[in-house]
Amino acid sequence: MKDIRTEMKKDLEQYFDRLWPICRSITGNGLRQSLEILQEIIPLEITEVPTGTKVFDWSIPKEWNIRDAYIITPSGNKIADFSVNNLHVLNYSTPIDMELDYDALAEHIHTVPEIPDAIPYITSYYKENWGFCLSHNEWTSLPKEGKYKVKIDSELRHGSLSYGECVLKGDTEKEILFSTYLCHPSMANNELSGPLAAAFLYRKIAAMPKRKFTYRFLFAPETIGVIAFLAEHGVKLKSHIHAGYVLTCCGDSGNFTYKRSKKRTSVGDRAAEHVLRTSGGEHKVIEFAVGGSDERQYCSPGFNMPVGSLMRTPYQRYREYHTSLDNKNFISFDALEETVNTYFDIVKVLELNEVYINKIPYCEPQLGKYGLYPSSVNPVFDRESTHRLLHFLSFADGEHDLLDIADLRKDSALLYEKIITDTRTAGLI
Amino acid sequence: MKDIRTEMKKDLEQYFDRLWPICRSITGNGLRQSLEILQEIIPLEITEVPTGTKVFDWSIPKEWNIRDAYIITPSGNKIADFSVNNLHVLNYSTPIDMELDYDALAEHIHTVPEIPDAIPYITSYYKENWGFCLSHNEWTSLPKEGKYKVKIDSELRHGSLSYGECVLKGDTEKEILFSTYLCHPSMANNELSGPLAAAFLYRKIAAMPKRKFTYRFLFAPETIGVIAFLAEHGVKLKSHIHAGYVLTCCGDSGNFTYKRSKKRTSVGDRAAEHVLRTSGGEHKVIEFAVGGSDERQYCSPGFNMPVGSLMRTPYQRYREYHTSLDNKNFISFDALEETVNTYFDIVKVLELNEVYINKIPYCEPQLGKYGLYPSSVNPVFDRESTHRLLHFLSFADGEHDLLDIADLRKDSALLYEKIITDTRTAGLI
Amino acid sequence: MKDIRTEMKKDLEQYFDRLWPICRSITGNGLRQSLEILQEIIPLEITEVPTGTKVFDWSIPKEWNIRDAYIITPSGNKIADFSVNNLHVLNYSTPIDMELDYDALAEHIHTVPEIPDAIPYITSYYKENWGFCLSHNEWTSLPKEGKYKVKIDSELRHGSLSYGECVLKGDTEKEILFSTYLCHPSMANNELSGPLAAAFLYRKIAAMPKRKFTYRFLFAPETIGVIAFLAEHGVKLKSHIHAGYVLTCCGDSGNFTYKRSKKRTSVGDRAAEHVLRTSGGEHKVIEFAVGGSDERQYCSPGFNMPVGSLMRTPYQRYREYHTSLDNKNFISFDALEETVNTYFDIVKVLELNEVYINKIPYCEPQLGKYGLYPSSVNPVFDRESTHRLLHFLSFADGEHDLLDIADLRKDSALLYEKIITDTRTAGLI
């Protein structure tokens, strides 16, 4: 039997390498091209929302595309070359082609003095502007005399915003949502790890022989993309959603962090925390806060959906965040695979979780009759699994779901899969 | 005045010594004989449930009686002699009288290699079988050659299962249940300590001048006996029960452990925990779990009665459990008496506990008018008891019962007995 | 601009010095004279309740006035001189003028052996008696031979009990109550600090340009005065009260202690605890208990109003309590001013606290449109205040009031004042 995990890891890396160089933004061909590559893994349906469309309090901005950008120094060197690193250009820069001196140029240059070798990632979606991002080291080495030539070969025009969606039907209309964003140029943990994890999670869920829930996957530009999606589908989603998660920062080597939905104790929150708690690994659980990603929209007061986010090291908590240092070296494909598998454990727990009802509620059933009781003449019989079975039947009382039942024994809910099958076969539930 | 406690201790020991040698099981004459002895302390009414009676998911097994059992070794020694220790025979063994060699015998021998000098206690109620229990040391010293003779002079026949019940009427039909089990052969903490504690607790409650509650005492074989009782009386009991406790493991020298009912915060749970908490002694409170005794039946989903269990060291938590080492040396009659008294404190607290209503609810009453306020010219007056009185009146507001009121001050509820009498006399409640 | 705080401190001290020497009691001219002085700061309306008036379970006692009191020792020295320290006389002493020997005198002498240089404060309001209070050192130095002359020039007659009240109207009839007591002779922390803090708090609240709430200030003798007030106004107050506080022990240098109302989580409790928690200072929160002051009446079962008490070191927790050592040296006008300002912070928080409703509930508003989003091209923009604004809008969902919202971010609610103004101006709430 071949090692499937290794296979997944190789695939993750190959798709990472293909997606990496593309210059994505909240609109444009880089975004479309990325969605196309992901369609090889997950059959995304693409929606195009035209520029100017009103989506709640927002409207879809012009579409941005870019071919090239660079600066020529007074001594004739080409620097800040977009073709070398697409972070060099302020994302959504208007086109420019001019000569200017150092001081005028300085007003359009962004650096991070605290991390002098990093190129920062800067955007200006809603206020027209142009600019370049440089490492602070490179910027401070430039001469203050002489003329600089700047060239940005970009275009802002009426077009559309693209997002991709895929639905895996299950036995019920109750939905589990996986939402990830796609709009950042070449950065690894935030954000390529998110779409990659979501796409490979799709593969695992699609391979399940049976699904109680319907699964919805959304790949959209952060904020505006999700707002566009919710403007069209939010009310319906709210009526069907059972649990939801935003996938981001899935690839660094840090411990897991689960950020709760605003509801705090929804079944999606409980399942995610249960999986982390019973995994034995160190992890953190943090509350919903607006310093975050698309859960801000899902959990806004009008929607307040049960959408949390399982991450590794959250955005803004690692130094490389939103700079050129968030690159392939910063992430680990082992970690990324573990994230996919942990999300899949959550799925398995959600599928298994129900309020089960013991059909022999008065006193214990006589388990021996059903072949479910070990012979008591063996003094070292497996008391643990008999207790787990009796525990399950005792709390299958209509007031506890499986998560409650497992939590009461500090067990993983996944340990109850066989018990549920056995007791169902015996007609006990 | 004679020392009542010492008296109780002596009585406990005498009854222990008389009950000890009897070979009890879930049915049979040993059980009947034990109930008869206990009737000298508590007027138990005996019920016989015929073999084959359906009780919920179970049916009453055949009645088992035994006269003798032993093994003759190849060299002619009599070992595993039932008349020396009734644990030597597998409880509920079918009759046997045959010769066989070592290997065939081995399949019917039970030992505990981890405690090589202990004879284990093993049963086979629901699957016909025969067997002997030996210390591991004895077993390993036996020769592997030659013929062994085994003899079990027992009988399994249509008969009945016996249990004893006693009701002490009180002013109301609300009941407090004390349930203990009687089915183990010669073992001390689990189980003789339980029936002894229950019987002597009866004596103390019967001597109370006045009882608000009706008290029900049940002495039944574990599991099947309680199931038989509940099949007949469960629905009525559920409608009357105020609090209930399973008495077991009452005699070892360990600290108290209170195992909560599944309801967790019923008044019975609160009273038991209150008594332990305010006693100042170290103790543990553990949650309901199915690895337990008859509370499993009382707390099954259909009944879910408020039945907990105050023990000392719980079953399965001490090494001597279910072996010949759980004998008179293992228990202490001081500890057993303390358990009886602690249960009686719980009774006193339950009797005292009520939602009292202060009849002068607007501002404090002028306590001096009622002779309830100490002279304030004494700068060292007993602020503590005045505060307790004012505290009681302040929280006698219809929203707090006495347990709440005492807990708010980390007081024992028993400290309020005089306050309740005084304020009632003064017309304040 | 002049230093207002220093101004307040000076004023506090001047009024303290004027109020200090007056011999107050629960009735009488000392009480009236004190109210008159306080009227220079706060326009108190005085109510006189005649002797004999029934107030709930109590009745107003005779009015007590005193001109002089002293003891002449056998050697002719005047000691226990009321004109030197009014604590020397048992408060509410009946008149006396007689000679008696040491042993007879001893029955009317009060000392505190544990604090031998302190004169204790003793009263006998409801049982007629006379007596003197001495330092234990002075008492033990007196000769046991010879005749002592005692003289108390006091008077107990039909009169009235006085209390002062002031109401500052606001936009609504919902009231915030500040209750303080005035009945102790020359003692500083308990009690002059309370009425002084209440009076100067009045000044600050009266200077507010706008008030949502109506503010009621009560200056009454402890216990009987508040009972008299509640007998007349309690039912109406209960229907209007939003939050209330008893001001006492406001002037020592200890950390703050907040004693909760019996309701524990009323908005008044939450606001007080919030201010202490976000102030960064060490402090304690204690539960309601009857060993206290007038909150005992406000929180009695019939009223159960949300009245707590913000103190520094509570009564009975400091050694100088109810003795001559609770004097000007024991308190600090810095601490007293800080107490006034902390109460005023509570007022500001209560005024600001509301359930705000975000009018753009579906997804986040596009803050940039309203000039409320910082330019994102600045990589070091003030993420903190943008997050606070988004946090506010996210939780302005009808289920959280401002205190909840601020607590969720461990912020001071006062930091949201500008956000509330800005979002209201923008039409977002």
Strand partners, A79: A71
Question: In chain B, what are the helix, strand and coil shares in percent, each to the nearest 5?
Answer: 35, 20, 45
Tokens of C43: 């326009």
Confidence check: pLDDT of B380 > 60? no
CA distance A205 to chain C (A): 29
Question: Could C300 and B394 be called an inter-chain contact, meaning their C-beta atoms sit closer than 8 Å?
Answer: yes
Q: What is the pLDDT of residue B383?
A: 78
* CA distances from residue C381 to A122, A296, A324, C384 in whole angstroms, order as listed: 12, 20, 20, 9
Nearest to B234 among A362, A366, A391 (CB): A362
CA distance B362 to chain A (A): 41
CA distance C180 to C309: 10
CA distance A128 to C304: 61
Nearest CA in chain B to A400: B301
DSSP 8-state symbol, B323:
B
Residues 214-233 of A with CB under 8 A from C: 223, 226-227, 230-231
- The tally of CA atoms less than 13 A away on the side-chain side of residue C181 is 28
Q: What is the pLDDT of residue B1?
A: 44
Q: Using a CB-CB distance cutoff of 8 angstroms, which residues of chain A are in contact with residue C428?
A: none
CA C132 from chain center: how many Å?
Answer: 28
Q: Using a CB-CB distance cutoff of 8 angstroms, which residues of chain A are in contact with residue C394?
A: 262, 290, 296, 299-301
Q: What is the pLDDT of residue A311?
A: 98
Question: Could A297 and C363 be called an inter-chain contact, meaning their C-beta atoms sit closer than 8 Å?
Answer: yes
Confidence check: pLDDT of B379 > 60? no
Closest by CA to A324, choosing from A106, A88, A158, is: A88
CA distance A228 to A234: 9
Q: Could you report the per-residue pLDDT of A5-38, keeping only the tens digit for each?
A: 568 999 999 999 999 999 999 999 999 999 999 9
Residues 352-381 of A with CB under 8 A from B: 358, 360-366, 368-369, 375-377, 379
Question: Could C301 and B377 be called an inter-chain contact, meaning their C-beta atoms sit closer than 8 Å?
Answer: no
Question: Could B377 and C131 be called an inter-chain contact, meaning their C-beta atoms sit closer than 8 Å?
Answer: yes
Contact with chain A for residue B107, Cβ under 8 A: no
CA distance A390 to B288: 12
Query: Are B152 and B130 in contact, with CB atoms under 8 Å apart?
Result: yes
CA distance C112 to C122: 11
Confidence check: pLDDT of B59 > 90? yes
Q: Using a CB-CB distance cutoff of 8 angstroms, which residues of chain B are in contact with residue C297?
A: 363-364
Q: Using a CB-CB distance cutoff of 8 angstroms, which residues of chain A are in contact with residue C390?
A: 290, 296
CB count, 10 Å around CB of B84?
11
Q: Using a CB-CB distance cutoff of 8 angstroms, which residues of chain B are in contact with residue A358?
A: 301
Residues 387-406 of A with CB under 8 A from B: 387, 390-391, 394-398
Question: Could A364 and B297 be called an inter-chain contact, meaning their C-beta atoms sit closer than 8 Å?
Answer: yes
Nearest CA in chain A to B114: A380
Percentage of the residues of chain C whose pLDDT score is greater than 70: 97
Closest by CA to B35, choosing from B177, B225, B195, is: B195
Nearest CA in chain A to C383: A291
Residues 35-74 of A with CB under 8 A from B: none
Nearest CA in chain C to A119: C379
Q: What is the pLDDT of residue B373?
A: 83
CA distance A38 to B40: 83
Q: DSSP string covering B198-217, please?
A: HHHHHHHHHT-S--SSEEEE
Q: What is the pLDDT of residue A392?
A: 97
Question: Could B362 and C302 be called an inter-chain contact, meaning their C-beta atoms sit closer than 8 Å?
Answer: yes
- Residue of B357, B363, B381, B409 to mutate for C, most C C-beta atoms under 10 A: B363
Please give the angle made by the CA atoms of A393, A396 and A400, to the nearest 5 degrees.
140
Q: What is the pLDDT of residue A2?
A: 52
- Residue of A53, A57, A315 to mutate for C, most C C-beta atoms under 10 A: A57
Question: Could B110 and A376 be called an inter-chain contact, meaning their C-beta atoms sit closer than 8 Å?
Answer: no
Calculate mean pLDDT across residues B223-246: 98
Q: Could you report the per-residue pLDDT of C382-412, keeping only the tens digit for each?
A: 778 899 999 999 999 999 999 999 999 999 9
Report the phi/psi class of residue B47: left, alpha or beta, with left for phi > 0 and alpha for psi in -120 to 50. Answer: beta
Nearest to C379 among A57, A122, A227 (CB): A122
CA distance A59 to chain C (A): 9
Confidence check: pLDDT of B382 > 90? no
Contact with chain B for residue A207, Cβ under 8 A: no
Report the relative pairing of strands A132-133 and A109-110 from DSSP bridges: parallel
Q: What is the pLDDT of residue A1?
A: 44
Q: Using a CB-CB distance cutoff of 8 angstroms, which residues of chain A are in contact with residue C409?
A: 289
Q: Could you report the per-residue pLDDT of A212-223, keeping only the tens digit for each?
A: 999 999 999 999
Amino acid at A114: E
Q: What are phi and psi of C406, to 5 degrees?
A: -65, -40
Instruction: Please name the residues in contact with C259: beta carbons below 8 A apart, sequence gap of 6 or more.
Output: C285, C286, C287, C288, C289, C292, C295, C308, C309, C310, C311, C314
Q: Could you report the per-residue pLDDT of C16-68, keeping only the tens digit for each?
A: 999 999 999 999 999 999 999 999 999 999 999 999 999 999 999 999 999 99
Nearest to B230 among A360, A362, A398 (CB): A362
Please give the angle made by the CA atoms of A282, A283 and A288, to the nearest 5 degrees.
170
Looking up tokens 């004109």 gives C83
CA A295 from chain center: how many Å?
Answer: 10
Q: Could you report the per-residue pLDDT of B98-119, keeping only the tens digit for each?
A: 999 999 999 999 999 999 999 9
Question: Could C289 and B387 be called an inter-chain contact, meaning their C-beta atoms sit closer than 8 Å?
Answer: yes
Query: Are A180 and A309 in contact, with CB atoms under 8 Å apart?
Result: no
Residues in chain B: 429
Calculate mean pLDDT across residues A126-148: 97
Closest by CA to C75, choosing from C136, C137, C148, is: C148
* Mean of all residue pLDDT scores within chain A: 95
Nearest to B396 among C90, C223, C301 (CB): C301
Nearest CA in chain B to A357: B301
Nearest CA in chain C to B398: C301
> What radius of gyration, in Å, describes the C-alpha atoms of chain C?
26
CA distance A187 to A321: 9
Tokens of A31: 């975004």
CB count, 10 Å around CB of C380?
8
Calculate mean pLDDT across residues B358-387: 82
Instruction: Please name the residues in contact with A50: beta carbons below 8 A apart, sequence gap of 6 or more.
Output: A60, A158, A159, A160
Element housing B48 (H / E): strand B45-50
Residues 258-277 of B with CB under 8 A from A: 262
Question: Could C299 and B394 be called an inter-chain contact, meaning their C-beta atoms sit closer than 8 Å?
Answer: yes
Q: Could you report the per-residue pLDDT of C295-351, keeping only the tens digit for each?
A: 999 999 999 999 999 999 999 899 999 999 999 999 999 999 999 999 999 999 999
Q: Using a CB-CB distance cutoff of 8 angstroms, which residues of chain B are in contact with residue A404?
A: none
Question: Could B300 and A375 be called an inter-chain contact, meaning their C-beta atoms sit closer than 8 Å?
Answer: no
Tokens of A341: 């598998």
CA distance B187 to B119: 11
CA distance A351 to chain B (A): 24
Calculate mean pLDDT across residues A318-329: 96
Question: Could A366 and B58 be called an inter-chain contact, meaning their C-beta atoms sit closer than 8 Å?
Answer: yes
CA distance B152 to B93: 8
b vs e for C35-67, b when ≥16 Cβ sit within 10 Å of the residue's Cβ? beebbebbebeebebebeeebbbbbbbbbbbbe
Contact with chain B for residue A116, Cβ under 8 A: no
Q: Could you report the per-residue pLDDT of C410-423, keeping only the tens digit for each?
A: 999 999 999 999 99
pLDDT band at A385 (very low <50, low <70, confident <90, very high): confident
Q: Using a CB-CB distance cutoff of 8 angstroms, which residues of chain B are in contact with residue C226?
A: 363
Tokens of A153: 């070969």
Question: Could B394 and C290 be called an inter-chain contact, meaning their C-beta atoms sit closer than 8 Å?
Answer: yes
In terms of pTM, does the model score above 0.90?
A: yes
Confidence check: pLDDT of A210 > 70? yes
Subunits with 3+ Cβ pairs within 8 Å of B are: A, C
CA distance A394 to chain B (A): 6
Tokens of C156: 């107990």
Report the phi/psi class of residue B218: left, alpha or beta, with left for phi > 0 and alpha for psi in -120 to 50. Answer: beta
CB count, 10 Å around CB of C81?
15
pLDDT band at C104 (very low <50, low <70, confident <90, very high): very high
Confidence check: pLDDT of A199 > 60? yes
CA distance B39 to B41: 5
Question: Could A230 and C362 be called an inter-chain contact, meaning their C-beta atoms sit closer than 8 Å?
Answer: yes
CA distance B390 to chain C (A): 6
Tokens of A20: 């990496």
CA distance B162 to A36: 77
CA distance A342 to A412: 13
Question: Could A364 and B131 be called an inter-chain contact, meaning their C-beta atoms sit closer than 8 Å?
Answer: no
Q: Could you report the per-residue pLDDT of B247-261, keeping only the tens digit for each?
A: 999 999 999 999 999
